Amino acid sequence: MKLNKLVIALSIAGLAACSSTPTGQPVGSQLVEQVSAVGNELVIPYKKFQLVNGLTLIVHEDHSDPLVHVDVTYHVGSAREELGKSGFAHFFEHMMFQGSEHVGDDEHFKIVTEAGGTMNGTTNSDRTNYFQTVPVNQLETMLWLEADRMGFLLNAVTQEKFEIQRETVKNERGQRIDNQPYGRLGERVAQALYPEGHPYSWPVIGWMDDLNRVNVNDLKAFFLRWYGPNNATLTIGGDVKAEEVLALVEKYFGSIPRGPEVQPMAKPTVSLDKTRYISMEDNVHLPLVYIAYPTVHLFHADEAPLDVLMQIIGSGNNSLLYQNLVKNQLAVQAAASHGCSELACQFALYALPHPASGKTLADMEAVIRNSLAEFEQRGVTDDDLAKIKAEMLSDAIFGLQSVHGKVAQLANYQTLLDNPNYINEQVARYRRVSKEDVMRVYEKYIKGKASVVMSVVPKGQTQLVAAADNFSLPAPVEMGPSTTTADDLHLRVAKDNFDRSVRPTPGANPAVDVPQYWQENWGNGIEVLGTHNDETPTTSLLLKIRGGNYQQNLDKAGVTSILAAMLTESTKSRSSEQMARELEKLGSSIRVSAKDDTMNVFVNSLSENLPATLTLLEEYLFEPAFSQDDFARIQKQSIEGVKNAQKDAGYLASKATRALMYGHSVAGLPDGGTEQTLANITLDDVKAFYHTWFKPQGGEMILVSSLDKAKVFAAMPKLTAWQGSAPDVAPSIGKAQFEPGVIYLVNKDEAAQSAIRVAKPGLVQDITGEFYRTNLMNFPLGGAFNSRINMNLREDKGYTYGAWTGFWGDKYSGTFSASADVRADATKASLEEIYKEIGQYAQSGIRGDELSFMRLAINQKDALKYETPSAKLGFLAQILEFDLKPSFVKERAGIVSSISQAEINALAAKHLKLDEMLTVVVGDAKTLKPELEKLGKKVVEYKL
C-alpha cells in the first residue's frame, strides 16, 4: 500500500486544501468529483461516480500491492427498523452470505476463500457493510458476487435458510451477549436512555422475541425497502484504474433498478427528566456501576470537545477516574467513553469496586460525581489538548497503512456525510478545540444533568445496587405472529444483455515479491531484521527478549504478566502519569506482553516522533522504578481479573484443556497465572525475573520504518549498548493427565451456551515439515468458513455461531483442537457431530474437490501477506525466529501444490485419532451431565 504521490504532513498545522475537479459524464454514469493531493496534505485520493440507478461508486488507486479491497455499504442499520421487527438489519447481513440467484448456497464464502481473499460483513445502528480483500485479478469476480446479491437475492432466500440463520443469530447473541459477563448492560442502558421507540432504544442484534415472530417475507420486505443501489456506496481501492473499474461496475450493477427513495433520519435531542436508576443481576464476579448522559450526534460541532472532556475525565492513567479510583485501589477498573453514532452520542463513566476497598456501588457513583466536580476546579491544560490532537493525527495516518483502512474511511464518510473527503477535517476539528470549548460542553451536557445509572450485581446480591430502581424499562411490544405474505412484496427485476450465471474467469494470479529486508547482528547478541517502508511516515518495532511464561516457577505463574505491566509504569526518573503523558503527546504507543518463551515489546510511532518515543522506551526498559505501590495495584488487578474470567465459558474451557493436556506444569496453567500463584508473587520475585531473564543475548528485533536504519539505531543508544545473557534452560512442558474417551464437564451455572473443546497433543511448530503439512490437512476439516465442521454445526444445524479445528505449536509443544460454543440444548448433538466429522475425515480423508480448494485458497493468499507494516513485522519475525531464507515462501507454495491426496489422508489417520483425544465441555452441569451420559461415555465433573 502506497500513497501515490501523496506526501503526508507530519504536523497538523498548515494542511493545504485538496483539489476537487468535476469532469465529464461517461455513458450511464456521472463523475461527481476527483480528489487528489496538493502539497503536504492529509487526503485519500479518489474518484467519485454516480450511476443512473443512484449507486455511488468511489475508486481509490493504490498500486503498491497487487490486491484490491471491495466494500459495499448500505445506509441501513438497526435504526431503520420498525418496532416489533428489531434485528432485521443484522439478520439480513447473515442472509446476504447464503447464496443468490446465480451463486449457489454458501458459495460466496467458498469463492472468496479459494481466491486467496478475506471477507466479512458488519452491522451497526446506522449502516451495514460487506467487504472483501482479494488479489487484484479477482476484482471482476467480487463485483459479480456483490451485484448478484444486491440485485438477485430474493429468489434464493428460502424458508430453510431463514430458519437456519435465525438460529445462527440466536447463537451469536448467546455467545457475545447472554453468555458474557456484563453482556446485556448496553441494551439495558439504551432502553433507559432513549425514549421508547427511539431507533437506538433496541440492540443491533435485536430482541429474540421479534426474530421468533417474523417470517421470511418480513425479511424480504426489509431488503426491498433498504437494499436498493440508491442507498448504497460501492468503494474500491487497490491496484486498479478508475475507468476500468467503472466499466465493470456499469456492467454488473448498472441494470439493477433503484429502490424506494431514502431520506435522512431526524436527529432529535435526547434528554432525561430526572436521573434514572436501573439494575440487573448477572453471573459476574464484581458489581459494576455505569453512568450515561445523552449528548449530541456523530460529527456534531460539540463532539470533538466532548471527546477531549472524556479523555480528561476517564481515559488513561492521567485521567481523574484513574487517579481517584484505580490508582488508590478503590476500583479494579474505572474509565469513561463517548460513543457516537449518526443520531446520538452517549457520554459514559463506569467503575468496578475493588473487593478489598470495601466500597459499594453507591460509593463508586459518589467518587465519579466528585471527579466531575473536580474537573470544574482543575480545568483544561495545554497537555490535554496536545494529547488528543496528537492521537487524532496519529490514528489518521496509521489508518492509511492498508487499502482496507482507506476504503473503510472513504465509505463511512460518504455514507454518513455524503463527503468521502473528510479525513483532513476530521483531524482539523480536534485541532480547533479550545479550553473554553471543553468547559462549555461540560456545562451544557454534563454538569447537573440527569443521567442513567445502571448497577450490575452478582446474582442474589441486589443489596449492592447504587440506589433503588426508580425507572421501569419499557415492556416488550405485544405483537402476534407476522401476517406478511409474498403478495405484499413488490419485486424489482433487472434486465441484462449478458448471462449472469457465467462466473467471471480471473486472469493469472499476480506475482508477489517477498519484502526486501536487511539483517544485522548487534554485538550484544540481538539479531535485527528490518525493511524500509515509506508508504506511510511511520515506524513499527517489535523487540523479543528470551524468557516468558515457560520460564516462570510453577508456584509463581503470572510473574511475567505482572512484569510486563510494570515495564510501562513508573521509572526511576518519572511517574507512570508523566511517562504516559509524554507518550500520548507524541501519538505513540509502547506495549509489553508476556508470551510463552519471550517478553515482547511493541512500538508504534510516527517516524518524526520516533527518537523521542525510543527515549521513553529505553527509560521504561532500563530504568523501571519497580514501585511497591505499582506492584500491589497490578497484582490485585490481576487476581480480580482471573476471578472475573472464571465467569467466562471460553476461559474455563481453555483453562481446563491446558490443565488436562499438560498436567502439573507451567504450560498447564493460564498464561496470566491463577489466583493462588498470583497471590504468591512478591515484588522481589518480579525484580528477580527481570534481572535474570531480561537480557539481550538471543534477543530479536524486527523493524519496519520509513527511516533509514542508521537513524533508528542512533536513537536507541542504551539498547545497542545493552549487555548480558540469560540462563540457557529448556522449559518443562508437562505431560497429559486426561483419560481419552472421558468427557470432562466444567460447571457454569445457567449457561446460555456450552463451550466444547476436543483436543490432543500434537507436533511442535515447523515451517515446511510435518507440522506445516498437518495444517494443510486440517484446512477442509475446520480451517476455513466452508470447512466440514463449520458447515455442519453452523450452516446445516444452526447449533453455533462458528466451529473450528486447528493445529497449534511452538518450539516446545503442540496441540490439535476442535472448538465450538453451542446452544446449551444442542450440546450433546453438537458433540456427536464433532466426533462424527473428525472420525469420518480420519477414516476417509480429503476429497478431490477439497484438495483443489485448499491449494487455490492458500497459494493465492500471497498478495495479502505483506501489505501492512504489521504484516511485514509478522513475516520478518518468522524468518528471524526460524532462521529462514526468503526461498521458504516458494518452498511452502511447492508443498501446497504437490502434496498428494494420499499424504493428506495418511496425516489425517495419524493425527486425528479420536481414541487419543480429550473432551472438555463447559456449561450447566446439572442439565448437561445426564444428556452427555447418553453418549455412552464416562462424564466426570471437573473442578478448576
pLDDT at 838: 98
Q: Which amino acid is at 21?
A: T
- The whole-number pLDDT of residue 374 equals 97
> What pLDDT, on the 0 to 100 scale, is given for residue 477?
76
Asked whether 762 and 777 are in contact (CB, 8 A), the reply is no
Give the pLDDT of residue 12: 28
Residue 549 has pLDDT above 80, yes or no: yes
- Return d(Cα 778, Cα 789) in angstroms, integer: 11
Contact at 8 Å (CB) between 841 and 788? yes
Q: Which residue has the cell 475425515?
A: 841
Does the pLDDT at position 863 exceed 90? no
Q: Report pLDDT for 204.
A: 96
Statement: residue 22 has pLDDT above 60? no
| Distance, CA of 449 to CA of 154 (rounded, Å) | 48
The predicted model gives 185-201 an average pLDDT of 96
- H and E: helices and strands count for the chain: 33, 25
How high is the mean pLDDT of the chain?
93
What's the full length of the chain, in residues? 944
Closest CA to 384 of 305, 486, 301: 305
198: pLDDT strictly greater than 80? yes
For residues 457 and 279, is the Cβ–Cβ distance under 8 A? Answer: yes
- Rounded Cα distance between 399 and 407, Å, is 10
Q: What phi and psi values does residue 204 have, to the nearest 5 degrees?
A: -60, -40
Say whether pLDDT at 26 is over 50: no
Per-residue pLDDT of 655-691, as tens digits, reads: 999 999 999 999 999 989 999 999 999 999 999 999 9
More confident residue, 482 or 19: 482
What tens digit of pLDDT does each residue of 331-341 get?
Answer: 999 999 999 99
Angle in degrees, 0-180, between the axes of helices 827-844 and 770-782, rounded to the nearest 10? 130
Q: What are phi and psi of 177, to 5 degrees?
A: -125, -65
pLDDT digits over 58-87, tens only?
999 999 999 999 999 999 999 999 988 899
571: DSSP letter? B
Report how far residue 375's alpha carbon sits from residue 446's, in angstroms, rounded to the nearest whole number. Answer: 11
- How confident is residue 773, by pLDDT bands cut at 50, 70 and 90? very high
Note whether 249 and 518 are within 8 A (CB).
no
Mean pLDDT of 461-487: 89
If we measure between CA atoms, which residue out of 56, 14, 59, 55 comes closest to residue 36? Answer: 59
Q: Distances from the Cα of 623 to the Cαs of 579, 718, 719, in angstroms?
A: 12, 11, 12
- Residue-wise pLDDT tens digits, 864-899: 888 999 999 999 999 999 999 988 999 999 999 999
Looking at residue 11, what is its pLDDT? 30
What pLDDT does 816 receive?
97
- Contacts of residue 117, Cβ cutoff 8 Å, sequence gap at least 6: 132, 133, 134, 135, 138, 142, 860, 861, 864
Is residue 27's pLDDT more than 70? no
Percentage of the chain modeled with pLDDT above 90: 87
Coil, strand, or helix at residue 818? strand
Would you state the cell numbers that stand for residue 710, as one nine-digit string?
Answer: 542508521
C-alpha span between 293 and 297 (Å, rounded): 12
Lowest average pLDDT, out of 2-6, 62-66, 477-481, 636-640, goes to 2-6
Q: Cell 443521567 belongs to which residue?
A: 451
Q: How far is CA 316 from CA 334, 576, 584, 585, in A?
A: 10, 10, 9, 12
pLDDT mean over 579-593: 97
Q: What is the pLDDT of residue 450?
A: 98
Closest to 19 measured CA to CA, from 414, 403, 424: 424
Taken in order of first residue, the domains within the chain and their CATH numbers are 23-32+43-263 (3.30.830.10), 276-398+420-464 (3.30.830.10), 518-721 (3.30.830.10), 743-941 (3.30.830.10)
CA dihedral 931, 933, 935, 939 (to 10 degrees): 120
Residue type, 90: H
Is residue 201's pLDDT more than 80? yes
- pLDDT for 929: 97
Query: Looking at the predicted structure, is the pLDDT value of residue 597 above 60?
Result: yes
Q: How confident is the model at residue 7 (pLDDT cuts 50, 70, 90)?
A: very low
Q: Are 90 and 205 in contact (CB under 8 A)?
A: yes
Among residues of the chain, what percentage have pLDDT more than 70? 97
> Which residue has 500471497 as its cell numbers?
862
Question: Greatest CA span in the chain, whole angstroms?
Answer: 79
Dist. CA 324–CA 312, nearest whole Å: 12
Phi, psi of 873 (to 5 degrees): -60, -50
Q: What amino acid occupies position 758? A: V
CB 495 within 8 A of CB 836: no
Question: For the stretch 587-598, what's the b/e string if a residue is b when 16 or more beta carbons lie within 10 angstroms of its beta carbon?
Answer: bbbbebbbbbbb
DSSP secondary structure, 392-407, as one string:
HHHHHHHTTSSHHHHH
Q: What is the tens place of the pLDDT at every residue in 598-612? A: 999 999 999 999 999
What is residue 41's predicted lDDT score, i.e. its pLDDT?
Answer: 83
**pLDDT tens-digit profile of 276-308?**
999 999 999 999 999 999 999 999 999 999 999
pLDDT tens string 137-175: 999 999 999 999 999 999 999 999 989 998 999 889 988
Is the confidence at residue 24, as pLDDT, over 60? Answer: no
Res 697: pLDDT = 97
Mean pLDDT throughout 833-839? 98
